[in-house]
A and B are shown apart, each in its own frame.
Chain A
């Protein structure tokens, strides 16, 4: 609580405030049932996840930058999932302050977005990512990566491709969790393990996968993703996931990231 109060008081010095610890009554069952979910706020971005894990000890981000690009196939589901994982990779490159990697990942994101027929307007985002990376403007890059992902999703929504929007979100969350669970598993502490407690997010992502068109739900890779999320849900329900569960979560997420990168194998 001490640290909490410290930053509150720091904020107090910046601006006038209404007061500390405002009195509020508990939410009613009706209010709990009428809660709004806005995907662009309800689901945290990988950057938020990485900011939290960085406070547990600075990870060696440079060693986590993924080498090699996801293979892409004719499967739009696989391309959308791979695009999501690349957004998370972009944040890793930003944390590593690796401008060459940011530029490459930016190019790959735009390349995959083109394969999904997003509009030319998204291409400008690629140029911005490049410019910010050139100037080592890491804070701007964090914002630009999220803005790029949101613009790609907006374009997909306009093209009535809501299913692809879902898969981009799922891909980004899976890759972010792959990285953070790997870091926690490598140096387990109960405090760091608590960051992985995200059952509400997994339930939300599973509900969105259940809304995909039937044809896409039969996609083998989408099926693998769904079963991996179902398994992950059983591993992160406790307030402090155990070391064994964190390791199992990491193995599950790493395997599905690998499956997304490989894409469906032609027989």
Chain B
């Protein structure tokens, strides 16, 4: 609940800011849209007991130029990495790799510009989450993760 309140506050702040700086406001709205969609997806996992981390990774992504985020995970926990991108992105994908850069066994969810990867590590340590834009042009993205 507090998370959505914060999001509403951010939307309000972006709206106020728009009066003085239209391009920056448009950028903020794009960021918020990606974050809102990623939160919506992660929220589905909350119903299954997953807790959403407060932090998020956002930025710009281009087709066929994947980006990687380092995370440190614990054996025994279960994780979902949820991401969303704004138009013109039409399709994105999320994948998980071990600390040597080899792909691990993970579950995928893909629905156009929204995607997630589910992973239950058997060894604690460093992993990498890959975000790829498969279709569409340069876009804003947001990725966050949940655990239980």
Q: Which residues of A contact B (CB under 8 A)?
A: 1, 3-4, 7-8, 10-12, 14-28, 31-32, 34-45, 47-49, 51-52, 55-56, 128, 139-140, 142-144, 146-147, 150, 191, 194-201, 239
Contacts and interface: CB of A to CB of B under 8 A. Distances in A.
Contact of A11 (B95, B118, B145): B118
B51 A195 contact: no
B103 interface: yes
A102 to B, nearest CB: 15
A197 B124 contact: yes
B124 A198 contact: yes
Contacts of B74: 44, 48-49, 51-52, 195
B145 A41 contact: yes
Interface range, B side: 35 or more
Contacts, number: 172
B2 A144 contact: yes
Contact of A22 (B1, B71, B76, B106): B106
Contacts of A23: 103
Nearest to A23: B103
A196 B76 CA distance: 12
A27 B101 CA distance: 5
Contacts of A49: 74
Given A18-B109, A51-B77, A143-B54, A11 B45 contact: yes
Given A18-B108, A143-B54, A51 B67 contact: no
Contact of A26 (B45, B76, B101): B101
A27 B51 contact: no
B74 to A, nearest CB: 4
Interface in B115-148: 115, 118, 120, 122-126, 128, 130, 144-145, 147-148
Given A47-B51, A143-B3, A150-B55, 19 more contacts: A14-B44, A17-B107, A20-B108, A26-B103, A27-B101, A31-B68, A37-B69, A38-B56, A38-B69, A42-B70, A45-B53, A48-B147, A52-B76, A143-B52, A147-B6, A147-B54, A195-B75, A195-B76, A198-B125
